[in-house]
Structure 1
Amino acid sequence: LTTITVITLWLTDTYDDIVGLRHALFEVVSVATTAGFAVADFSGWPGALPFLLFVAAFVGGCSGSTAGGMKVIRIILILKQGMREVMRLIHPNAVIAVKVGKVSVPDSIAQAVWGFFSAYVMLFFLMLVGVMATGVDQVTAWSSVGSALNNLGPALGEASSHYGDLPSLAKWILVLAMLLGRLEIFTVLVLFTPAFWRR
């Protein structure tokens, strides 16, 4: 991603050689790890670069870190599980294990990862529709919800410099998204289950 960013910035004459390399490297690492720091306003970068950086934020950091996003290990497990299902279509009677390195991943963990992914996508789209219903444009709504849910900070569109101009209801939805992202979705959702309150 850093290479694509550097080459695009150089080809479009956005920055000269060393400044383009420095800005690209810093912004890619900052956004991918959801640190939220910025040395340049990447929302104005050419082409699809702002979108690509945001996709990196959805992947997020390593498992066990304080980074936001879905986490790299979950993405790896989702991709490996998807490949296993494709192989099962080709060879229906085959027993195919999902492995990370040389360790087989139990089906219960794969199911938990799919459950997290499903909850993440569902909540993202519900909050996206909620923010758009307040009159916010699609780019600003998508990037604001993504930024809040991934604990990123910067967004695109109207929220590229600050969130102050967004409607109050949109800000409350983003606050909920930030809580869900920071505390990991299941931690917050378990508070709404009756079984949690019976103990």
Structure 2
Amino acid sequence: MYIYAALTITCFLAYMAAGMNWFDALGHSFSTVAIGGFSTYDASIGHFDSAAIELICIFFLIISAMSFSLHFLAWRGRRIRHYFQDPEARFLLMFLAFLSVITVISLWLTGTYDTERGLRHGVFQVVSIATTSGFSVADFSVWPGALPFLLFVAAFVGGCSGSTGGGMKVIRIILILKQGMREVMRLIHPNAVIAVKIGKVSVPDGIAQAVWGFFSVYVMLFFLMLVGVMATGVDQVTAWSTVASALNNLGPALGEASENYGEMPTLSKWILVVAMLLGRLEIFTVLVLFTPAFWRR
């Protein structure tokens, strides 16, 4: 709790030092550390048009998307090396860096922005969407090529376990990738005993199976809600992006919902409400309430 409070206070002071008034700094510090993405302005962080504010926001979004247990270890040991030794934190940082490079270069090559704006807007939107905060400094829905789609795919990864971020969580993505690679190696070496490891720790098969179970239910629910939203008359792009946004607790969407969700059919909004609850509570927590065995106990 004190780590969360310390981050919020530090973020508040940093925003004020960068030029925000106390009210805006307070509101945005709450929203940044919580990875809520809400703002006191319709234009979000873009209202301030300040590189300093954007850098502060990027920094605290990344910190908040990391495990708070990791922050505790770093604070207790007074060393930042814990961040670089943690496989989940390393994956998150490399993923954000890789996606930022692709986005910024694409914006430069297509002439969407000049060098400075391309760098600022590209990196900010990557970090904002990938950490599932939803802050914005530009309308990324009109960016060229596959960039909007790419950013939404990044939101499925989300933050680390034990963070305030949404999405499927980085640790699950790592385990899915590692187990997938193990199955490929088993095809090459059928008799080999290959362990799935996170760092130097071997992961029990039961945990790996649980991750695949979560992923299967996640995909199934995503497509069920996607079909449900499309059945209300919403086009494919809008339906896909709104369901992805709701299930990952992101906020922004594409298509007809790129500005807001106000014009969407009432039934589709109820479906998205369910998606938001499932995403925030990690799916199984909600689904267990509908199992007869839970109530018999």
1:99 corresponds, among 194, 197, 216, to 197
Is 2:262 the counterpart of 1:158?
no
1:100 Cα deviation after fit: 0.9
1:91 Cα deviation after fit: 1.9
> When the two structures are superposed, what TM-score results if normalisation uses the length of structure 2?
0.66
Amino acid at match of 1:21: L
Amino acid at match of 2:157: V
Relative contact order, CA 8 A, sep 6+: which one is greater? 1
**Residues 71-113 of structure 1 deviation map (CA, whole Å, 9 limit, x = unaligned):** 1110110011111111222222221110111100001100110
1:20 corresponds, among 107, 112, 118, to 118
Q: State the alpha-carbon separation in 2 of the partners of residues 110 and 183 from structure 1.
A: 20
Q: State the alpha-carbon separation in 2 of the partners of residues 97 and 72 from structure 1.
A: 19
1:183 corresponds, among 256, 281, 290, to 281
Aligned twin of 2:269: 171
Aligned twin of 2:186: 88
Aligned twin of 2:127: 29
Amino acid at match of 1:161: E
**Residues 34-69 of structure 1 deviation map (CA, whole Å, 9 limit, x = unaligned):** 011111110000110000000100111111112111
| Structure 1: gaps of 5 or more residues | none
* Deviant stretches of 4+, over 2 Å: none
Aligned twin of 2:227: 129
1:14 Cα deviation after fit: 1.1
Q: State the alpha-carbon separation in 1 of the partners of residues 187 and 293 from structure 2.
A: 38
Is 56-65 or 87-96 further displaced after alignment?
A: 87-96
Amino acid at match of 2:295: W
Q: State the alpha-carbon separation in 1 of the partners of residues 220 and 188 from structure 2.
A: 30
> When the two structures are superposed, what TM-score results if normalisation uses the length of structure 1?
0.98
| Structure 2: gaps of 5 or more residues | 1-98
Q: State the alpha-carbon separation in 2 of the partners of residues 23 and 166 from structure 1.
A: 28
1:181 Cα deviation after fit: 0.4
Is 2:294 the counterpart of 1:192?
no
Matched position secondary structure for 2:272? helix
**Residues 162-198 of structure 1 deviation map (CA, whole Å, 9 limit, x = unaligned):** 0011111111100000000011111001101111111
Amino acid at match of 1:68: G
Aligned twin of 1:73: 171
Amino acid at match of 1:45: W
Matched position secondary structure for 1:34? coil
Matches within 5 A, 1:108-123: 108-123=206-221
**Residues 108-136 of structure 1 deviation map (CA, whole Å, 9 limit, x = unaligned):** 10011001000100000000010011111
Amino acid at match of 1:139: V
Aligned length: 199
Matched position secondary structure for 2:244? helix
Amino acid at match of 2:128: S
Q: State the alpha-carbon separation in 1 of the partners of residues 102 and 177 from structure 2.
A: 23
1:20 Cα deviation after fit: 1.2
1:40 corresponds, among 114, 135, 138, to 138
- The root-mean-square deviation of aligned C-alpha atoms, in Å, is 0.8
